[in-house]
Chain A
Amino acid sequence: MSLPVAQEAQIVNVTVNGDEHTATVEPRLLLADLLREVFGLRGTHLGCEHGVCGACTILLDGEPVRSCLVLAVQADGRELTTVEGLAGAEGLHPLQEAFREHHALQCGFCTPGFLLTALYLIDGDPAIDERDEQELREALSGNLCRCTGYQNIVDAVRDGAARLRTAKEEG
């Protein structure tokens, strides 16, 4: 019978930060490893590899996902945003500026995941900086940081939301 099942490598076409990429991969390859090992985009960090730490969080068609819990082949035809897509020619993204200014990172391992989670949260709730701190902390609770104690990250996300709003208002 014609088996609709294949163990052989498959072709994946994805758009990463606006650039089109193609690769031939085994079905078991994780999306995080496609980004890191095949495309050389090592800004996406792999911590726990079972969905707990949030370091590998990226945006898949605009929604945050754990790239260690998605197969590379599942991203075929989709658009990805990774930390490499945030800074522009004119410098850091406003949220990255806020992280730098508020000292929201020490070793930086968790930062890419925090940035992409926070971007999604701000996008869905532009006034998230006006929410009470508990709500903001719960919204960020899927990303673990072992250095900062979180306070500076919460401050940076609040400030980043305000900066993005100002940038939008100024057009």
Chain B
Amino acid sequence: MKPPRFAYAAPATLDEVLEALGVEPDATTVLAGGQSLMPMLNMRMAAPRVVVDLNRVGELAGIEAGGERVRIGAMVRQRTIETDPRIARRLPLLAEATTHIAHVPIRTRGTVGGSLSHADPSAELPAAISALDGRMHLRGADGDRVVAAREFFLGPLTTAIEPGELLVAVDVAAPPPGSGWAFLEVARTHGAFALAGVAAVLHVGSDGAIDHAALAMCGVGSAPYVATWLPETATGEHPDEALFEQVAERVRDEISPYDDGHATADYRRRVAVVLTQRALLTAAGRCNGGGPS
């Protein structure tokens, strides 16, 4: 099928984008990489009166990796996250998560901001960004605001972005040097939506005890699941299978997966338990440049 009629604007600056968004804020859709919106337009599941295209706004496509937190512009392509050496060095979790998103010809167009604001419950980036303490930078007619990942993802395809507002960037905390990481998922085929996926980061101090831990999941609820209790549970502990089993049990009890045509909630729960243990083991093995295997 073909998209319905819409009015189209392709501004070159952020100021012009906000002006365009303000014309009919309740009937306007933002077009980023188009890898979710275009199918919805083609199938006429979406019929906005106005489409505002961000693809000519150069100021949204930058990565600032010099500081303590890494700032990623909303229009940075997923393929860039996958291949950029600064991301590989400071945010290998994000690069690894990206390789699970669909296929290369999707990732060349798909963007970081597009995935975050689309907020599909099975999408990889919302979970990975949540595990990295991500903060969304929103801009609207009334100015800028910063929303933490936990307050940003409100439910399936629902975020804290208000009509007329735009996600301009996300910033994340780069884990301490020497951290281990893993993004694992189970999908029906390579590139398909995740039935369940998990993002994990661990850092082990010189005494062999965990001093930084983060874990978030996709596909197991209406929004990314974040194990906010993990730092308290894991800090000071040794990264071993007994600990990871304990973590996985608590994850199993806290997540609220759903049934759909691809898998039952019960299956997703079981996958989540196994993935949690595997991801933590993989992350532990990657601590301090490989570490004990």
Binding site for B on A (CB under 8 A): 1, 3-7, 10, 26-28, 30, 33, 49-51, 54, 57, 60, 63-66, 68-71, 73-74, 117, 120-121, 137-139, 141-142
Binary interface encoding of chain B residues 6-43 relative to chain A, with 1 for a CB under 8 A from any of its CBs, else 0: 11111100001001100100000001001100110111
Least distance between A17 CB and chain B CB atoms (Å): 18
Is B8's CB under 8 angstroms from A66's CB? no
A74 touches B20 (CB 8 A): no
Does B263 belong to the interface (CB within 8 Å)?
no
Known: A28-B2, A33-B2, A69-B109. A51 touches B39 (CB 8 A): yes
Q: Are A64 and B105 in contact (CB under 8 A)?
A: yes
Bound complex: CA A74 to CA B9 (Å): 11
Residues of A within 8 A of B190 (CB): 137-138, 141
A74 touches B38 (CB 8 A): no
Q: Given that A4-B19, A5-B23, A74-B55 are known contacts, is A66 also in contact with B6, CB under 8 Å in the complex? A: no
Question: Would B43 and A73 count as touching, CB distance under 8 A?
Answer: no
CA distance A26 to B245 in the complex (A): 57
Residues of B within 8 A of A51 (CB): 35, 38-39, 106
B residues near A30, Cβ cutoff 8 Å: 2-3, 42
Who on chain A is nearest to B55 by CB?
Answer: A74
- Closest CB of chain B to A51's CB: distance in Å? 5
Please tell me if the beta carbons of B9 and A6 are within 8 angstroms of each other in the complex. yes
Tell yes or no: B176 within 8 A of A by CB.
no
Is B53 touching A50 in the complex (CB atoms < 8 A)? no
Task: Kindly list chain A residues whose C-beta atoms are within 8 Å of the C-beta of B38.
Answer: 50-51, 68-71
Give A45 Cβ to nearest chain B Cβ, in Å: 14
How many angstroms between the C-alpha atoms of A65 and B110 in the bound complex?
A: 10
Q: Given that A50-B43, A64-B108, A65-B105 are contacting pairs, would A74 and B5 also be in contact in the complex, using a CB cutoff of 8 Å?
A: no
Q: Does B104 contact A (CB under 8 A)?
A: yes
Q: Which residue of A lies closest to B51 (CB)?
A: A27
| A65 vs B55: C-alpha distance when bound (angstroms) | 14
When chains A and B are docked, how far (Å) is the Cα of A60 from the Cα of B111?
16
Q: A50-B43, A70-B38, A74-B10 are in contact. Are A28 and B5 (CB under 8 A)?
A: yes
**CB nearest to B9 among chain A residues:** A5
Shortest distance between the CB of A52 and any CB in chain B (Å): 8
A69 to B1, CA, bound (A): 12
Are the CB atoms of A54 and B7 closer together than 8 Å? no
List 11 contacting pairs A-B, 8 Å CB cutoff, sorted by A.
Answer: A4-B16, A7-B5, A27-B7, A28-B6, A50-B42, A64-B104, A66-B106, A66-B109, A70-B34, A70-B38, A142-B105
Contacts of B55 in A (CB 8 A): 74
A27 contacts B35, CB within 8 Å?
Answer: no
Instruction: Say how far B224's CB is from chain A's closest CB, in angstroms.
Output: 23
* Contacting residue for B34 out of A3, A28, A69, CB 8 A: A69
A4 to B51, CA, bound (A): 11
Q: How far is the CB of B110 from chain A (nearest CB, A)?
A: 9
A133 to B: closest C-beta gap in Å:
13
Assembly CA distance A132 to B190 (angstroms)? 16
Asked if B5 contacts A141 (CB within 8 A), the reply is no
Give 16 new A-B contacts, CB below 8 A, not counting A4-B20, A70-B34: A1-B23, A4-B11, A5-B9, A5-B23, A27-B51, A28-B2, A49-B1, A51-B39, A64-B104, A66-B35, A66-B106, A70-B109, A74-B10, A120-B104, A137-B190, A142-B106
Chain B residue contacts of A64, Cβ below 8 A = 104-105, 108
Partner of B42, one of A27, A49, A141, A142: A49
Q: What is the distance, in angstroms, from B59's C-beta to the closest C-beta of chain A?
A: 17
The residue on A at minimum CB distance from B11 is: A4
B230 contacts A by Cβ under 8 Å: no
**Closest chain A CB from B202 CB (angstroms):** 27
* A50 touching B39 in the complex, CB below 8 Å, given contacts A4-B16, A33-B2, A138-B190: yes
Q: Which A residue sits closest to B102, measured CB to CB?
A: A142
Contact A6 B3 (CB under 8 A): no
Beta-carbon nearest neighbor of A140 in chain B: B103
Give the residues in chain A near B31, CB-CB below 8 Å. 71
Please name the 6 residue pairs, one residue from A and one from B, whose CB atoms are nearest each other, closest first.
A142-B103, A27-B8, A50-B39, A64-B105, A69-B38, A7-B7
A7 contacts across to B, CB distance below 8 A? 5-8
